[in-house]
Amino acid sequence: MCKITAVVNQKGGVGKTTTTLNLGYALAEKGKKVLLIDLDPQSSLTVSLGYDDNDSITTTIASLMSMVIEDEELPDKKEYIISVGAIDVIPCNIELSAIEVSLVNAMSREMILKTVMQEFKEYYDYIIIDCSPSLGMLTINALAACNSVIIPVTPEYLSAKGLELLLRNIIRVKKKINEKISIDGILLTMYVERMNLSKEIKEMIEDAYGKTVHIYTNRIPKSVKVGESTMKNKTIIEYAKNNKVAIAYQELAKEVLDNECSTN
Ligand SMILES: Nc1ncnc2c1ncn2[C@@H]1O[C@H](COP(=O)(O)OP(=O)(O)O)[C@@H](O)[C@H]1O
Ligand SMILES: [Mg+2]
Tell which one of 11, 18, 195 to mutate to probe ligand 1, the residue whose CB is within 8 A of the most ligand atoms: 18
Cα of first residue to Cα of last residue in the chain, in angstroms, is 11
Report the percent of the chain where pLDDT is more than 90: 90
Does residue 258 register a pLDDT over 60? yes
Q: 166-184 pLDDT, tens per residue?
A: 999 999 999 999 999 999 9
Q: Does 155 contact ligand 1 (Cβ within 6 A)?
A: no
In DSSP terms, 7 is beta-bridged to: 130, 150
Split at pLDDT 50, 70, 90, the class of 58 is confident
Give the position, in ligand 1's atom list, of the atom nearest the Cα of 9: 22
C-beta of 220 in contact with ligand 1 (< 6 A): yes
Residue 55 binned pLDDT confidence (cut-offs 50, 70, 90): confident
Residue 264 has pLDDT above 70, yes or no: no
pLDDT tens digit sequence for 102-129 = 998 888 999 999 999 999 999 999 999 9
Confidence band (pLDDT; 50, 70, 90) for 1? confident
If you measure from the C-alpha of residue 11 to the centroid of ligand 2, how many angstroms do you get, rounded to a whole number? 10
**pLDDT at position 105:** 86
| Contact 227 CB / ligand 1 (< 6 Å) | yes
CB under 8 Å to 20, separation ≥6 — which residues?
A: 7, 36, 45, 128, 129, 130
Q: Whose CA is nearest to atom 13 of ligand 1?
A: 13
Beta bridge mates, 39: 131
Read off the DSSP letter of residue 221. Answer: B
* CATH code of the domain occupying 3-255: 3.40.50.300
User: Mind listing the pLDDT tens digit for each residue in 124-160?
Assistant: 999 999 999 999 999 999 999 999 999 999 999 888 8
Q: How confident is the model at residue 263 (pLDDT cuts 50, 70, 90)?
A: low
210 ligand 1 Cβ < 6 A? no
134 and 12 Cβ atoms separated by less than 8 Å: no
pLDDT given for residue 157 in this prediction:
87
d(CA 11, CA 16): 9
The arithmetic mean of pLDDT across residues 76-91, rounded, is 94
Sign of CA dihedral 119, 252, 48, 145: positive
**Core vs surface per residue 117-148: b (16+ CB within 10 A) or e:** bebbbeebbbbbbbbbbbbbbbbbbbbbbbbb
C-alpha torsion angle, residues 154, 128, 183, 40 (rounded to 10): 60
Q: Quick one: which ligand is closest to 8's CA?
A: 1
Q: Is 192 exposed, middle or buried (0-12, 13-18, 19+ CB in 10 A)?
A: middle
Q: Which residues surround ligand 2, an ion (CB under 5 A)?
A: 16-17, 44
Segment 249-253 mean pLDDT: 97
Residues 6 or more apart whose CB falls under 8 angstroms from that of 227 comprise: none
Please give the distance, rounded to the nearest whole angstrom, from the Cα atom of residue 226 to the centre of ligand 1: 7
Which residue type, as a one-letter code, is found at position 173?
A: V
- Percent of the chain topping pLDDT 70: 99
Residue to probe by mutation, ligand 1, list 7, 92, 193, 226, most atoms within 8 Å of CB: 226
Residue range 247-262: mean pLDDT, rounded: 90
How distant, in Å, are the alpha carbons of 31, 92, 214, 257, 258 from that of 264? 19, 33, 17, 11, 10
Domain boundaries, given as residue ranges, for the chain: 3-255
Q: Assess contact for 172 and 43: CB atoms under 8 A.
A: no
262: confidence class by pLDDT, cuts 50, 70, 90: low
Model pLDDT, residue 158: 87
Average pLDDT, the chain: 94
| Radius of gyration, alpha carbons of the chain | 17
- pLDDT band at 44, cuts 50/70/90? very high
> Which residues are bridge partners to 152 per DSSP?
187
